[in-house]
Every structure is written in structure tokens, then in C-alpha cells.
């Protein structure tokens, strides 16, 4: 086996930033098994990759441009509109077969670099965690503008200090559908919107608070961010679920047990303690999963029992993502595209039911047919 140096690089456009007493700065340190190199200045060590003619969407009725990508060792030659950058590199050693290593160094056309970069991608989660840590510290302690605009994200393999192979991570492309509103749809749209004017102003206010967030979730392009964003409009909508409709048998059992223990005790202030316990009980808010279960049982949409089980799963994923900062909790959390699509479907159907008291939502090939 042979040892190769591989890594992960982020290049940020440090908009409006500069160094007052020097042209550039560079320093390194080690963290979580990675050699980290931070560069701030005009000449990032791994150059810059510029994309052009790239679009956000893939259209079904024509050819969508996937964009052109060009590498420049010196950003000054790229035509990029600004020239001050923050670069974060995370580098480590990995073992590769000796034959693969020899091909990588001696034959650039062999494709060996792709195999080595694929091996390096196994560590991409740790690389990104380290980069998040470093970028977050720079932004929080110095200024967010240093790491405001991400330009490039690359996995690379180093041949020598002046020669490396890299893989580009481009921007997301969303696959769209070809849509045409027919006469029935036109009439339904007009009827629905005209019906809104008859609603009470408080209903308008509530709907605005929900739609403000669901619009943000629809436009979110990162999968994990979209998954988390979808919970906000649903949480607002679940505020309409009456607390008396939420049944938490385990919580009620524990509450009554504590009440019995206080009542049967010899504590001189037990009457005051019982009053305080009742006060705490009124403050207790049922969890999101229980509130959704109450909503689903009330709405009884097609497949609602499956929806309850699915939401428990999604809520557990969400809590795991939000609790990553707890050092006492060791988590491996994965959010797949199918999870996000299923959560989006669930959120849309139940928000529609809360607002309109029906299960009508837009049709899409990404929405699975539901069974009762």
C-alpha cells in the first residue's frame, strides 16, 4: 500500500474584506485528524473554478444548460469580479494500492485520480464538519463577510505542491415539470382566490404566517436545510391544535403519580405543592409528534395512520440534527432526498386541511399515490 495526500477545499468570496497591514496571511493547524490550512488574500493556493451559463433548473421541454466550468490557478486571470478570498483546506493521508498510486503520479490520463478522489470522498462528512467549524469561528469572531459567499467546494488529491487533481461540486439543479393550467384549473383558481376575501382577517393573518415560511421552504435548495425549513410552517399550523385534543397517556400517568406521592406525604406544605404542580401541568406543552397525531386523527386523510408513523420518524431526524451540539449524544444522521419529498408532501397536505378543510394539493409526479 502507498500513502496519498487528499483533501477538501472551500473557497469563499470575502466581500468587502481586506488585510490592513499585509497582502495575505496563511497558517496551519491540526484538528480531528486533518491538517487544516487557512489562507486569506488575493491568491488562494488551489486557484478558482469559474462557472458560466449554468442554470438553477432542468426544464422538461428543452435542453437546459449544465454550465461551463473553467479552472484558473490565478484568480486574477479568471475575470471574477472580486479579488479577495478566504480559503480553507482540510488535508489528510489515506492508504491506496501501490499500483494505483504509481498510475496517479506517472500517468495523468489513466483516470487514477478519479479513483483516489472517490476514496477521499468517504471522509467528506468529516471534512465538511471541520470546514464548518473553521468557517464558523472566522465568521463569528471576526466577521461573516469573510465566509459569506461560497464560490468553490472541491475534493482533491495532491501529486506535489504545484500539481493536484480535483473534483468540482457544482450548484443544485432542480428538475421541473411541464405544467399547463386547463379551463377547469383556471375556474378553480379564480373560485379559490375569490373565496379568500370572505375569510375573517384573523384567518388571513394565520395563513400569512404559514405561507411566509412554506414559500421559503419551497425555494430552499439544500436538502437538509429544506427538510428543517418544512417544520416551521407545520409547527405554526399545529398551533391550531387544541391542547385538550392531545392525549399523552405516559405523561398523564407520571403526573398523577407525582400528585399521589405529594398528597400521601407528611410534607407540611403539600397543599401549596399540589397547587404548584397543577400550575406546572397547565404550562406543560405537548410535543410536536403528539400534536401532529391529534391533527391526523381529526383530519383522517387517506393513509393518516402511515402519516403519523412517518412524522414520528421525521421528527426524530429533526431532533437529532438539532441536538448535534450535545457532546453526550453520539449521532449519525442521514437525510435523503426521499425523506425530504415525503415530508414536503405530508406538510402540504395537512396545511391544506387546516386552512381549507380538504386534502386538495397540487399534483406532481414526485408525490406518491396514497393508500388508505
Q: Which of 234, 282, 237, 3 is nearest to 116 (CA)?
A: 3
Q: Does residue 132 share a domain with residue 122?
A: yes
Any domain includes 194: no
Query: Are both 277 and 297 inside the same structural domain?
Result: no
The answer to whether residues 126 and 208 belong to one domain is no
With a cut of 80, say whether residue 64 has pLDDT above it. no
Whole-number pLDDT of residue 180: 80
Asked if residue 65 belongs to a domain, the reply is yes
Show the domain range for 228: 200-243+286-356
366 domain-assigned: no
CA angle 361, 367, 372 (to 5 degrees): 85
The predicted model gives 100-119 an average pLDDT of 92
290 domain-assigned: yes
Same domain, 95 and 233: no
Is there a single domain that holds both residue 273 and residue 263?
yes
Residue 372 lies in a domain: no
100 and 212 in one domain?
no
Please report the DSSP string for 226-270 in residue order: HHHHTHHHHHHHHTTS-GGG---HHHHHHHHHHHHHHHTS--TTH
**17 shares its domain with 39:** yes
Q: Are 38 and 86 in contact (CB under 8 A)?
A: yes
Residue 274 lies in a domain: yes
Is 300:247 a contact under the CB 8 Å cutoff? no
What nine digits make up the cell of 225?
Answer: 436545510
- The neighbouring-strand residues paired with 6 are 92, 157
- pLDDT band (50, 70, 90) for residue 174: confident
In this predicted model, what pLDDT tens digit does every residue of 86-108 receive, in sequence order? 999 999 999 999 999 999 999 88
> What element of type H or E holds 291?
helix 288-299
Same domain, 146 and 267: no
Could you tell me if residue 361 is inside a domain?
no
CA distance 8 to 88: 8
**Which pLDDT band holds residue 326 (cuts at 50, 70, 90)?**
low
Q: How far apart are CA 253 and CA 46, in angstroms?
A: 61
Give the CA angle between residues 210, 212, 216 to the nearest 5°: 115
> Is position 367 within any domain?
no
Q: Do 35 and 137 belong together in one domain? A: yes
Please say if the pLDDT value at position 12 is more than 70: yes
CA neighbor of 49 nearest in space, from 151, 176, 162: 151
User: Residues 266-301: pLDDT tens digits?
Assistant: 766 767 777 776 766 665 667 888 899 999 999 999
Same domain, 347 and 310: yes
pLDDT value of residue 283: 56
Residues 144 and 40 in one domain: yes
Alpha-carbon dihedral sign for residues 91, 95, 99, 100: negative
Residue 327 has pLDDT above 60, yes or no: no
Residues 169 and 206 in one domain: no
User: pLDDT confidence of 365, banded at 50, 70, 90?
Assistant: confident
| Secondary structure class of 179 (helix, strand, coil) | coil
CA distance 183 to 339: 34
Decide: pTM greater than 0.85: no
**Structural domains of the chain, count:** 3
Cα–Cα dist 129/13, whole Å: 20
Phi, psi of 194 (to 5 degrees): -70, -30
Tens digits of per-residue pLDDT, 66-89? 667 889 999 999 999 999 999 999
Amino acid at each position: 500500500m502507498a500513502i496519498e495526500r487528499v483533501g477538501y477545499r472551500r473557497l469563499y468570496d470575502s466581500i468587502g474584506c481586506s488585510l490592513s497591514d499585509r497582502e495575505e496571511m496563511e497558517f496551519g493547524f491540526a484538528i480531528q485528524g486533518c491538517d487544516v490550512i487557512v489562507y486569506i488574500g488575493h491568491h488562494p493556493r488551489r486557484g478558482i473554478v469559474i462557472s458560466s451559463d449554468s442554470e438553477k433548473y432542468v426544464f422538461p421541454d428543452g435542453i437546459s444548460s449544465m454550465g461551463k466550468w473553467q479552472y484558473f490557478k490565478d484568480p486574477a486571470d479568471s475575470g471574477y469580479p472580486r479579488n479577495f478570498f478566504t480559503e480553507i483546506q482540510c488535508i489528510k493521508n489515506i492508504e491506496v494500492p501501490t499500483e494505483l498510486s504509481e498510475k496517479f503520479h506517472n500517468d495523468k490520463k489513466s483516470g487514477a485520480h478519479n479513483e483516489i478522489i472517490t476514496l477521499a470522498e468517504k471522509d467528506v462528512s468529516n471534512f465538511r464538519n471541520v470546514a464548518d467549524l473553521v468557517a464558523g469561528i472566522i465568521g463569528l469572531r471576526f466577521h461573516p463577510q469573510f465566509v459569506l459567499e461560497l464560490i468553490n467546494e472541491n475534493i482533491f488529491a495532491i501529486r506535489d505542491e504545484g500539481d493536484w487533481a480535483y473534483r468540482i461540486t457544482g450548484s443544485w439543479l432542480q428538475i421541473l415539470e411541464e405544467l399547463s393550467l386547463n379551463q377547469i384549473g383556471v375556474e378553480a383558481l379564480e373560485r379559490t382566490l375569490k373565496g379568500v376575501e370572505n375569510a375573517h382577517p384573523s384567518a388571513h393573518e394565520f395563513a400569512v404566517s404559514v405561507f411566509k415560511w412554506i414559500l421559503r421552504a419551497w425555494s430552499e435548495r439544500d436538502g437538509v436545510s429544506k427538510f428543517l425549513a418544512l417544520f416551521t410552517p407545520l409547527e405554526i399550523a399545529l398551533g391550531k391544535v387544541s391542547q385538550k385534543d392531545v392525549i399523552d397517556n405516559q405523561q398523564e400517568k407520571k403526573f398523577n403519580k407525582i400528585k399521589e406521592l405529594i398528597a400521601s406525604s407528611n410534607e407540611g406544605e403539600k397543599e401549596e405543592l399540589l397547587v404548584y404542580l397543577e400550575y406546572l401541568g397547565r404550562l406543560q406543552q405537548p410535543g410536536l409528534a403528539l400534536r401532529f397525531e391529534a391533527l391526523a386523527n381529526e383530519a383522517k386523510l387517506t393513509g393518516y395512520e402511515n402519516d403519523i408513523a412517518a412524522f414520528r420518524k421525521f421528527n426524530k431526524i429533526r431532533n437529532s440534527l438539532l441536538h448535534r451540539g450535545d457532546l453526550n449524544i453520539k449521532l449519525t444522521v442521514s437525510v435523503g432526498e426521499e425523506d425530504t419529498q415525503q415530508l414536503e408532501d405530508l406538510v402540504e397536505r395537512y396545511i391544506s386541511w387546516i386552512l381549507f378543510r380538504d386534502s386538495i394539493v397540487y399534483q406532481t409526479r414526485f408525490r406518491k399515490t396514497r393508500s388508505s
